[in-house]
C-alpha cells in the first residue's frame, strides 16, 4: 500500500511538472522574441550524438574504401640500403643489432632441422617461421621480460629472444619426460611461466580476449608493463578478435596487438578473407592507435614496437601493429602450399626475405662479413643438432601423466580409469613399448 501511494504521489508530481513545462513553452511561443527565447533553452548549435564526433552535410554520399588513402607502411631498410636513418630517440647498439641477426639465423636453422625431423617421422608435427623472422625477433627485442606475451603458433622467435633454450624447444617438440607440458601439448605449443609467455593453444583467436583481460589486470594493479598479443590476419576474422579490440579500446587497456599478415590463412589468400584496407584499418574504427609496418624489415618492427610500448604504458591505451610479411614455408607439415600458390610467387618473395635484407644492411655498415656469417651458421647448426640429439634420447613421460594435472585432487572416476589402465598394461604389457616411457 505504501508503495502504491508513493508511486501515485510521484506520478502526480511528474505530471504537474510536465504541465508547467508546456505552459512555459506556450508563453515563449506567443512572445515576439520566440526564436531567441527557444534558442536560449535548447542552444543554437547542432546536437552532438553520444560517442560520435561528426559534422552535418546535405550531400548524400556513401563512404567506402575508395574515399580514403590506404594506410602507409612504415619501413627503415630500403632495397638499396641507401640513406637509411635510424630514429635518434630510440637507441639500438651494435651488439643488439648483431644479436638480432644471430637469433634470426638460429630460428631459421632450427626450423629446417625440425621440419626435416617431422618428415622422417621423428616428431609428429611442426610449423616453420621461414620468411617471418623479422616480425618476431624485431618486436621481441623491443619489449621486456615484464611484458606478458600471448602468442599464436608462429612466434617461436619471440620465445627464443626471451631466453627459451634450444633444448627446451626440442624437448617440447618431442614431448619427452623433460618437456614442461609432459607431452600433453602438440609440438610447437610452447609456454613458459618464467618468461611470461602464455602456453599456445590451437584454436584461433582465443588468446585475444584473454590477453585484453590480462592487460586490464595490469592496469588495475598499476604495473609498469603491457601485454603483447600476436595473431595472424586469418585469426582477425574470428569474432574473438573484434570483441578483444572493442574490449581493449573501451577499457583503455595497455596492450599491443601485433597482427602477422603473411598473406594466407592456411590456404585462403587475403583477397578472399577481407575487402577493406587490411587489418590496420580496423584499429582507428575501434578507437585504437595503429601503424602498418614492413614486417620483413627487422629494424622497422623493432622501432615501431618500441614506440608503441612506451606510448602504451605511458597513456595506458591499446595499440595495433599490422606487420606485412609473407609465409615462405608451408602452413605446417600437414600442408602443401604449392596446391594453392605458384612456385614463382614463393621464389619472388624469397628475394625479399627478412634475413637477406638484414644481412645486406649489416654488411653495408661494416658490422658483418661473409666469413662471420659462415662461422655463425656453423656454430648454430652444431648447437641445434646437439640439442636435437639429446632430446631424442630422452624417455617419454610416464603413462600415468595421462591422468594428472587436470584436478588438484584426483576424483574417483579418474582414479578408476588409471587403475583400469594399470591392469590393462599388466596383462598386455608385451604389446606396448613401455621401455620407451619413464
To which residue does cell 590506404 refer? 70
Q: Are 84 and 78 contacting, i.e. CB atoms less than 8 angstroms apart?
A: yes
The answer to whether the predicted template modeling score (pTM) of the entire model surpasses 0.75 is yes
**Tell me, what's the pLDDT at 81?**
67
Q: Give the confidence band of 86 by pLDDT, cuts at 50, 70, 90.
A: confident
Residue 265 and residue 18: Cα distance in Å, rounded? Answer: 60
**CB count in 10 Å sphere of residue 58:** 4
Q: Which whole number is the average pLDDT over 239-252? A: 97
Say yes or no to pLDDT of 109 above 60. Answer: yes
Q: What is the pLDDT of residues 287-332, one digit of tens each?
A: 999 999 999 999 999 999 999 999 999 999 999 999 999 999 999 9
Q: What is the mean pLDDT of the chain?
A: 90
CA distance 331 to 127: 7
Residues involved in catalysis: 116, 202, 331-332
What does R_g of the chain's alpha carbons equal in angstroms?
29
Q: Express each pLDDT in 189-230 by its tens digit.
A: 999 999 999 999 999 999 999 999 999 999 999 999 999 999
Angle among Cα 148, 152, 156 to the nearest 5 degrees reads 80
* pLDDT of amino acid 85: 80
Whether 267 and 329 have beta carbons less than 8 Å apart is answered as no
Overall average pLDDT of the 25-50 stretch: 60
Please say if the pLDDT value at position 423 is more than 80: yes
Pairwise CA distance, residues 175 & 169, whole Å: 10
- pLDDT > 70 fraction of the chain, expressed in percent and rounded: 89
Residue 114 has pLDDT above 90, yes or no: yes
> How many Å apart are CA 95 and CA 433, to the nearest integer?
49
Give the whole-angstrom CA distance, residue 367 versus residue 38.
74
Q: Is 97 helix (H, G, I), strand (E, B) or coil?
A: helix
Determine the pLDDT at residue 7: 40
Picking from 361, 430, 403, the residue whose alpha carbon sits closest to that of residue 82 is: 361
Q: pLDDT tens-digit profile of 390-418?
A: 999 999 999 999 999 889 999 999 999 99
- Give the residue ranges of DSSP H helices in 150-250: 156-162, 166-174, 207-220, 239-250
Confidence of residue 1 (pLDDT cuts 50, 70, 90): very low
* Locus of grid cell 515563449: 28
Q: How far apart are the first and last CA of the chain?
A: 76
Average pLDDT for residues 51-64, to the nearest whole number? 90
Return the pLDDT at 176.
97
CB neighbour class for 377 (10 Å; exposed up to 12, middle 13-18, buried from 19): middle
Rounded Cα–Cα distance for residues 88 and 73 (Å) = 20
DSSP label of 408: S
- In degrees, rounded to 5, the angle at the alpha carbon of residue 303 between the alpha carbons of residues 299 and 305 is 115
CA distance 44 to 35: 10
Q: Which helix (H) or strand (E) holds 378?
A: helix 370-393
Amino acid at each position: 500500500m505504501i508503495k502504491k501511494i508513493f508511486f501515485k504521489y510521484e506520478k502526480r508530481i511528474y505530471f504537474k511538472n510536465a504541465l508547467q513545462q508546456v505552459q512555459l513553452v506556450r508563453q515563449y511561443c506567443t512572445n515576439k522574441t520566440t526564436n531567441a527565447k527557444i534558442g536560449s533553452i535548447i542552444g543554437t548549435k547542432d546536437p552532438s550524438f553520444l560517442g560520435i564526433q561528426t559534422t552535418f552535410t546535405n550531400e548524400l554520399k556513401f563512404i567506402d574504401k575508395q574515399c580514403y588513402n590506404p594506410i602507409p607502411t612504415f619501413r627503415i631498410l630500403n632495397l638499396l640500403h641507401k640513406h637509411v636513418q635510424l630514429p635518434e630517440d630510440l637507441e639500438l647498439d651494435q651488439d643488439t643489432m648483431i644479436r638480432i641477426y644471430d637469433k634470426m639465423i638460429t630460428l631459421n636453422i632450427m626450423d629446417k632441422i625440425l621440419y626435416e625431423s617431422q618428415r622422417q617421422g621423428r616428431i609428429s608435427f611442426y610449423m616453420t617461421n621461414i620468411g617471418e623472422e623479422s616480425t618476431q625477433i624485431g618486436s621481441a627485442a623491443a619489449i621486456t621480460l615484464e611484458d606478458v606475451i600471448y602468442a599464436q603458433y608462429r612466434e617461436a622467435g619471440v620465445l627464443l629472444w626471451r631466453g627459451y633454450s634450444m633444448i627446451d624447444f626440442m624437448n617440447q617438440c618431442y614431448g619427452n619426460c623433460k618437456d614442461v607440458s609432459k607431452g600433453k601439448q602438440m609440438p610447437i605449443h610452447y609456454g613458459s611461466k618464467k618468461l611470461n609467455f602464455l602456453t599456445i593453444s590451437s584454436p584461433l583467436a582465443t588468446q585475444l580476449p584473454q590477453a585484453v583481460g590480462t592487460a586490464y589486470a595490469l592496469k588495475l594493479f598499476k604495473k609498469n608493463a603491457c601485454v603483447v598479443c600476436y595473431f595472424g590476419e586469418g585469426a582477425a576474422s574470428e569474432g574473438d578478435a573484434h570483441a578483444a579490440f572493442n574490449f581493449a579500446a573501451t577499457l583503455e587497456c595497455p596492450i599491443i596487438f601485433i597482427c602477422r599478415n603473411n598473406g594466407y590463412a592456411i590456404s585462403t589468400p587475403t583477397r578472399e578473407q577481407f575487402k577493406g584496407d587490411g587489418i590496420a584499418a580496423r584499429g582507428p574504427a575501434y578507437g585504437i592507435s595503429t601503424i602498418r609496418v614492413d614486417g620483413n624489415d627487422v629494424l622497422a618492427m623493432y622501432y615501431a614496437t618500441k614506440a608503441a610500448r612506451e606510448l602504451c604504458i605511458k597513456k595506458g591505451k591499446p595499440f595495433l601493429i599490422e606487420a606485412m610479411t609473407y609465409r615462405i614455408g608451408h602452413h605446417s607439415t600437414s600442408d602443401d602450399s604449392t596446391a594453392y600458390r605458384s612456385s614463382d610467387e614463393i621464389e619472388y618473395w624469397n628475394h625479399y626475405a627478412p634475413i637477406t635484407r638484414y644481412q645486406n644492411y649489416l654488411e653495408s655498415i661494416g658490422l658483418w662479413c661473409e666469413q662471420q656469417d659462415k662461422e655463425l651458421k656453423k656454430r648454430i647448426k652444431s648447437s641445434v643438432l646437439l640439442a636435437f640429439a639429446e632430446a631424442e634420447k630422452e624417455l617419454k613421460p610416464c603413462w600415468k601423466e595421462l591422468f594428472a594435472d587436470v584436478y588438484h585432487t584426483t576424483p574417483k572416476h579418474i582414479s578408476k580409469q588409471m587403475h583400469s589402465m594399470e591392469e590393462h598394461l599388466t596383462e598386455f604389457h608385451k604389446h606396448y613399448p613401455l621401455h620407451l616411457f619413464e
